[in-house]
Amino acid sequence: MMSDHAPAQLAYLGLNVSDLPHWHDYAARILGLEVDAGSDLSYLRMDDYSYRLLLTRGTRDDLDLLGWEMRDDAALQALRARLEAAGVAVRSGSRDALNARRVTALIEFEDPSGIRMEACVGPLIERARPFRSPRAMSNFVTGALGFGHITMTVDSLDKSLAFYRDLLGMRLSDWVRPQPERGVESHLNIAFLRCNSRHHSVAFWEMQLPKRLHHFMLQVANVDDVGATYYLCKDRDVPIELGLGRHTNDGMLSFYAQTPSGFSVEYGWGATEVDETTWRTQLHTTGSSWGHRPGG
């Protein structure tokens, strides 16, 4: 059991994208998401939640914000008090922000790298209008695990650990520290953090790159959806960043495709869920037990 002030799940992901029409087509035809398309703001749906991805028209083609869901108002207030005690500026969501996010309560703040964070209570659940993928597939694995996960670069590993682990109350599932090739120095050190039994909702490493976001991950219920989507990408000339493979740490069988914004989407199946009573923080020196080769 996580602390009272810890997020229950990563409920939604905001992306700043330059080509909304391309994204609408990509989300529906490649990813299998329902698209509620707007001219400046679009909502992508994958389960009972009225949306899980928010696309905002812009120029950055990068991560826009992370939306953390709290169990209830008391948990939101506990988090707010904790953030403010640590000197983090917190704003209450405006009426317009509540409407745009379709939640009953919302606070806004930033992580140590300046990444926009929101913590909410009471997301709109649309059980009377069940999710229907626009293409043939099973369904996405979400529920209490949240929408999926993201990996990103941060300005300071130490400051981000202090923020996500010590302040937000997330837990460190493991580290991946790839062994450098002979003669090549590598300081890559990736931290994987969870807030529920999904092995990680967020992973990060310290590096300066043009984009914060490396990839976001969507998990499907049937392994055939991974294989079918892999070949759908091939058939429709969607670039494969990393071919089919199995991750060492969360056991995810997945591949990575390029999105219209340049960062990747991981499409995966079969991840291990963390049992809090037995899990111990692990160290891995390779990210994949097989596959995930560049270009597929």
In this complex, which beta carbon is closest to Fe ion, that of residue 97 or of residue 207?
Answer: 207
CB of 45 to Fe ion, least distance (A): 21
CB of 266 to Fe ion, least distance (A): 4
In this complex, which beta carbon is closest to Fe ion, that of residue 112 or of residue 251?
Answer: 251
Query: Phi-psi category of 254—alpha, beta or left, where left has phi over 0 and alpha has psi -120 to 50?
Result: beta
**242 CB contacts (<8 Å, ≥6 apart)?**
255, 256, 264, 291, 292, 293, 294, 295, 296
Cα 212 to Cα 154: distance, rounded to the nearest angstrom? 7
In this complex, which beta carbon is closest to Fe ion, that of residue 53 or of residue 217?
Answer: 217
In this complex, which beta carbon is closest to Fe ion, that of residue 62 or of residue 266?
Answer: 266
CB of 271 to Fe ion, least distance (A): 9
In this complex, which beta carbon is closest to Fe ion, that of residue 217 or of residue 257?
Answer: 217
Cα 148 to Cα 142: distance, rounded to the nearest angstrom? 7
CB of 150 to Fe ion, least distance (A): 8
CB of 245 to Fe ion, least distance (A): 11
CB of 215 to Fe ion, least distance (A): 6
In this complex, which beta carbon is closest to Fe ion, that of residue 120 or of residue 217?
Answer: 217
In this complex, which beta carbon is closest to Fe ion, that of residue 43 or of residue 192?
Answer: 192
In this complex, which beta carbon is closest to Fe ion, that of residue 47 or of residue 266?
Answer: 266
Cα 223 to Cα 261: distance, rounded to the nearest angstrom? 26
CB of 151 to Fe ion, least distance (A): 6
CB of 173 to Fe ion, least distance (A): 12
Site residues for Fe ion per CB under 5 A: 217, 266
